[in-house]
């Protein structure tokens, strides 16, 4: 009998869950003050407290959304019958693209914040 995990790219599912959890933690417990240890830290997000506050909540929402997309895409193994190596390569590639996409979206939104 097959289990649902046999049809999922488990690495992609795990990355999705990690993104959802990290985004949720950042959304519920955002760093209050600009710092160089925790939070969404870029030159533009650290320009002012207003930009910092916006970047923390917005990036957390985007991170959770990307995590949901990753989890939604994880059953692709059932469609393509891939092996573990290909699953890992796909998961790492999607994670890198998702992270870059998150940064691009948040940075574009930060340009609109005064």
Which residues of the chain are modeled with pLDDT < 70?
A: 1-6, 77-81
Q: What is the pLDDT of residue 4?
A: 62
Output the pLDDT for position 78: 63
Q: What is the pLDDT of residue 90?
A: 81
Please state the pTM of the whole predicted model: 0.86
* DSSP-assigned states of every residue in 70-91: HHHHTTHHHHH---HHHHHHHH
Q: How many structural domains compose the chain?
A: 1
Domain span including residue 76: 4-110
């Amino acid at each position: 009998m097959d289990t649902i995990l046999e049809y999922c790219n488990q690495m992609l599912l795990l990355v999705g869950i990690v993104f959802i959890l990290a985004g949720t933690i950042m959304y519920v417990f955002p760093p209050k003050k600009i710092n160089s240890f925790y939070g969404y830290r870029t030159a533009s997000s650290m320009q002012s407290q207003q930009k910092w506050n916006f970047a923390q909540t917005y990036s957390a929402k985007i991170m959770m959304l990307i995590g949901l997309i990753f989890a939604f895409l994880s059953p692709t193994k059932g469609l393509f019958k891939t092996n573990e190596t290909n699953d890992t390569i796909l998961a790492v590639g999607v994670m890198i693209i998702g992270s870059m996409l998150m940064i691009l979206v948040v940075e574009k939104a930060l340009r609109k914040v005064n």
